[in-house]
Structure 1
Amino acid sequence: MSGAKPVHAAQTLFPVVDGCLQVGGIALTRLARRVGATPFYAYDRALLSERVRHVRRHMPSGLALHYSMKANPMPALVQHMAGLVDGIDVASGGELRVALDTGMAPEHISFAGPGKSEPELSQAIAAGACIHAESEREVRVVARLGEQLGIAPRLVLRINPDFELKSSGMKMGGGAKQFGIDAEDAPRVMALAADMGLDVRGFHIFSGSQSLKADAIIEAQVQALALARRLGEQGRIAVRELNIGGGFGIPYFPGEAALDLAPIGAHLETALPAVRAALPEAQVSIELGRYLVGEAGIYVARVVDRKLSRGQVFLVTDGGLHHHLAASGNFGQVIRKNYPVAIGNRMDGPATEPVSVVGPLCTPLDILAERMALPEAQEGDLVVVFQSGAYGRSASPAGFLSHPEVLEVLV
């Protein structure tokens, strides 16, 4: 692309032409006019496709790749992902409806998460989706609903392992957790399910997310595969499905490096033959959300005021924490660090002015960038928050202060 140049490390997926960021081959300023309003999220379908190809290049053949829809449930994006992956993992009845609308075969849609309601479980059973049971109570409910519907439910047991994913941003397994059936209780629940005539197809073992350390992910996979083999030997089931989660993270902050998939793929290449020998019917899958979509999306807000307060410059935008809670610091619950932020229509300008980018809400927590060096920006310029393809719109308090909803586009 003539005139293109990369931007800093956390933003290298998006090219720049003549000082303007490009999304899906479209200049940001032109895209903003096409959308018709700010703020908005924009997702680049070519980057989504390339990320899936990147994963497949590094993972062994025969390993299934699932998209974890909770990362981004935008229907158009999910439709695109459905054509690239082997399965979709959902976490609510609403997500299940979106997944079914893509045309993905129901048997390749899995439904996990604690506290599923009976209407949601009935919907999943009737559709033919695979339910990942999180508790003994849920197993009993699935058995009763299946009998009432006259349908044999597709069921996998989600296991809370006795280990965790080290160095992960969010630990989903190990210790006392609301997720899954404790590993030590799994043989008893498997026996219960067999006595009730349920078709338990296998296990879902997920220990954590957002790790940038390949060795930690490999260690968790070693333990997950070993646990699956032990449970397969102890239970009265033929293991046909084995979801070992993912945990692949993306870099957000200075000093963080991208995850190297090569050693992870090499480990699985050597480990899977033994698993297949022990569990010959098992289809092994990994489940990724943030890693597939996070770096392919940006959040765009327009500067509506440039304000100088006692020597500090504030760029006040029409977007903020109500649309992008994670970038703002989750209502002050974490020590805030700046996401990669840029002035999308001034990418070739020198980043010489320390500014704070804030939103329109009546709270000092409404911050998108704090004392960050950016090119000098004026009213009407476009602020871009990178790494925004996952846990953005749907993970933010859109109703806070009753501002308009944020738009989303797939380009």
Structure 2
Amino acid sequence: MSEGLNLLNIQSPCFVLNEQDFKQGIHEFDYALNNHFPHHIVGYSVKTNSLPYVVAKARDFGCFAEVVSDDELELALACGYGMKEIVFNGPMKSKSQFLEAVMGGAIVNIETHREIAWLKELPIDGHYKVGIRLSVNISDISPEDADGDNDFSRFGFNDSTDEFAQAVAAIRAIPQVCLVGLHIHRTTHGRSVQFYRRSVAYAANVIWKYGLCLDYLDVGGGYYGIFRNAPTFNEYATAIYEALDEAGLIDLTIIVEPGNALIAAAFSYYSRIIDVKRLPDCTILTTDGSRNDVDPFFHKDRYMTEIHRKKESAKVVPLQIVAGATCLEYDQLFRLENQQEMEVGDVIEYKNVGAYTLSLTPMFINYFPRVYSLSSDGLKLVRDKWTAKEYIQKSNI
């Protein structure tokens, strides 16, 4: 990311989006799907990074918007998506937005019993299409990918009981509604290709079991991005195709909902050293950034970093601890052992931090940081740093 980027032109801490990397990821996934499926949709997972500029760019680059709440639906519409370019998932749909989305032609996947009841309120002289989410227990279909002996999902309708059958029957009983899609989103730690092959095969069995006449299969997200020694988009697409080919269902439109796979590698985060403290056993490097920004779950034990020094130092320091700008003792990011001494003004770049960071960054001590975008037109600010003014804009004081 630092290539072609003048670090003197950015105010840290900040995120920087590489638009070309984002565009490349979308186009490579689209190309992989196009090799197997003439009809397919890449739905950008808005929750993964809901920065308005990113959401709008995803549409520019050919994506639908996959949303899971009324707020995300409103955001997608505000960012230029038409209702027919939206995939509406999740249990947090309101009745009004749910009905508006169904009537407006969005791809709406039924998640809850209350949504089935709402379908009955659609105008009886209309014709409406919906999908339904199938609950996937990873332990049952792909034990090697499971997290424990009963890796069930709290989402969707379960076919190991009579719940899925009852949901399908209830939708079929509504004359103005047609069930045209199946949604099977689950993610695994390993993101293996075999899991997608097996989950699609499971979905195919369910389709034949209930005689579902569908337009689409929504496979969901959870894929690796463009990383070395990781499954490729083409390998995922091939696995999906092979499972459907064996089941005689290759004419389905395939929907994927990548988030991390598209946006993680497109972002870097930059922070500067603002203070150096030399203790008996180590040197503390305090930065103007925070672990809250690059690791909001505080579960990473390492980061992909690059250090940009103002000048090279001949002095090697046994231990330097890079710390964040909060008042939390555990806001420590990583350690440098037996490396060149760093000084105030040096910059640290954290790579591959575009997923679940900007969306989850808390308003703790320091408010939302700046975000820049780097394209062939150069560097531009796409979100300024939040101040107290933005923080209190909807408050009464």
Normalised to the residue count of structure 1, the TM-score between the two structures is 0.77
Q: Partner of 2:179 in structure 1? A: 200
Match of 1:243 in 2: 218
* Residue 29 of structure 1 pairs with residue 24 of structure 2: no
Checking the alignment, whether the CA contact within 8 Å between 2:316 and 2:339 is kept in structure 1 is: yes
Query: Is 1:109 aligned with 2:73?
Result: no
1:189 maps to which of 162, 167, 188: 167
Query: Residues 254-269 of structure 1: matches in 2 within 5 Å?
Result: 257-269=229-241
Q: Which amino acid aligns with 2:17?
A: Y
Q: Give the counterpart of 1:289 among 224, 238, 259.
A: 259
Query: 2:394 maps to what in 1?
Result: none
Can you give the 5+ residue segments of structure 2 that lack an aligned partner in the other structure?
375-397
Asked if the contact 2:204–2:244 (Cα under 8 Å) also holds between the matched residues in 1, the reply is no
SS in 1 for 2:320: strand
CA distance in 2: counterparts of 1:351 and 1:390, whole angstroms: 36
Q: Equivalents in 1 of 2:348, 2:123: separation in Å?
A: 55
Shift of 1:202: 1.0
Question: In the TM superposition, what is the alpha-carbon distance from 1:305 to its structure 2 partner?
Answer: 0.8
Q: Distance in 1 between matches of 2:354 and 2:314?
A: 26
Q: What is the 5 A alignment of 1:119-198?
A: 119-125=96-102, 127-141=104-118, 143-144=119-120, 146-147=122-123, 154-163=129-138, 175-184=151-160, 185-197=163-175, 198=177
User: In the alignment, is residue 321 of structure 1 matched against residue 321 of structure 2?
Assistant: no
Partner of 1:244: helix, strand, or coil? strand
Give, in whole Å, the separation in 2 of the partners of 1:345 and 1:208: 39
Deviation at 1:338, TM superposition (A): 1.4
Distance 1:229 1:357, change over 3 A: same
Cα distance, 1:94 vs structure 2: 1.9
- TM-aligned CA deviation for residue 154 of structure 1: 4.1
- In structure 2, give the amino acid aligned to 1:27: N
Match of 1:42 in 2: 16
Offset of 1:367 from its aligned partner? 2.1
CA distance in 2, matches of 1:221, 1:299: 32
CA contact (8 A) 2:138 2:152 kept: no
Q: What is the CA–CA distance in structure 1 between the aligned matches of 2:274 and 2:108, rounded to whole Å?
A: 47
In 1: Cα distance, 2:31 partner to 2:120 partner: 43
Asked if 2 retains the 8 angstrom alpha-carbon contact of 1:191 and 1:236, the reply is no
CA 1:238–1:364 in 2, change beyond 3 Å: closer, same or farther? same
Aligned length: 364
SS state at 2:359 partner: helix
User: What residue number does 2:379 align with?
Assistant: none
Q: Secondary structure of the equivalent of 1:183? A: coil
How big is the shift at 1:55? Answer: 2.6
Percent identity between matched residues is: 20
Rate the CA distance shift 1:392–1:344 in 2: closer, same or farther, 3 A. farther
Unaligned runs of 5+ in 1: 1-13, 15-20
Q: 1:17-48 CA deviation, whole Å, 9 max, x = no partner? A: xxxx22xx332333x1xxxx321111100111
Residue type of the alignment partner of 2:173: D
| TM-aligned CA deviation for residue 374 of structure 1 | 5.7
Equivalent in the alignment of 1:224 = 199
Moved more, 48-57 or 189-198: 48-57
Report the Cα distance in structure 1 between the residues aligned to 2:84 and 2:110, rounded to whole angstroms. 15
1:356-371 residue pairs with structure 2 within 5 A? Answer: 356-371=321-336
Cα deviation digits, residues 274-313 of structure 1 (max 9, x gap): 45x4474x21122211011101101112211112222212
Matched AA of 1:207? R
Instruction: Establish whether residue 410 from structure 1 lines up as the match of residue 382 from structure 2.
Output: no
Superposition deviation, residue 317 in structure 1: 1.3
**Partner Cα separation in structure 2 for residue 299 and residue 208 of structure 1:** 26
Q: Secondary structure at the match of 1:78?
A: helix
Shift of 1:138: 2.7
Q: Which amino acid aligns with 2:27?
A: R
Note the 1:364-403 alignment, pairs <5 A: 364-371=329-336, 375-397=340-362, 399-401=363-365, 403=366
CA separation in 2, counterparts of 1:347 and 1:87?
46
From the superposition, tell whether residues 307 and 245 of structure 1 become closer, same or farther in structure 2 (CA, over 3 Å): same
Q: Residues of 1 paired with 2:129 and 2:286: CA distance?
A: 51
Q: What is the CA-CA distance between 1:357 and the residue it aligns to? A: 1.6
Q: Distance in 2 between matches of 1:91 and 1:313?
A: 45
2:372 maps to amino acid: V
CA distance in structure 1 between the partners assigned to 2:72 and 2:89 by the alignment = 11
Once the two structures are overlaid, the 10-residue window that deviates more, 386-395 or 373-382, is 373-382
Match of 1:74 in 2: 51
Work out the CA distance in 1 between the residues paired with 2:143 and 2:22. 27
Q: Tell me if 1:93 matches 2:57.
A: no
AA in 2 matched with 1:242: L
Structure 1 counterpart of 2:15, one-letter code:
Y
Q: What does residue 8 of structure 1 align with?
A: none
Q: With structure 2 as the length reference, what TM-score do the two structures score? A: 0.80
Q: Aligned partner of 1:409: which letter?
A: Y
Residue 250 of structure 1: CA displacement?
A: 5.2
**Partner Cα separation in structure 2 for residue 310 and residue 145 of structure 1:** 71
> d(CA) in 2 for partners of 1:320 and 1:346?
21
Q: Distance in 1 between matches of 2:313 and 2:127?
A: 62
2:308–2:347 Cα contact (<8 Å) kept: yes
Structure 2: which amino acid aligns with 1:406? P
- Answer whether contact 2:272 2:345 (CA < 8 A) is retained: yes
Query: For 2:226 and 2:57, how far apart are their aligned partners in 1?
Result: 24
Deviation for aligned residue 1:64: 3.0
Q: Measure how far apart 1:350 and its partner are.
A: 9.2
CA-based RMSD:
3.2
1:264 aligned counterpart, secondary structure:
helix
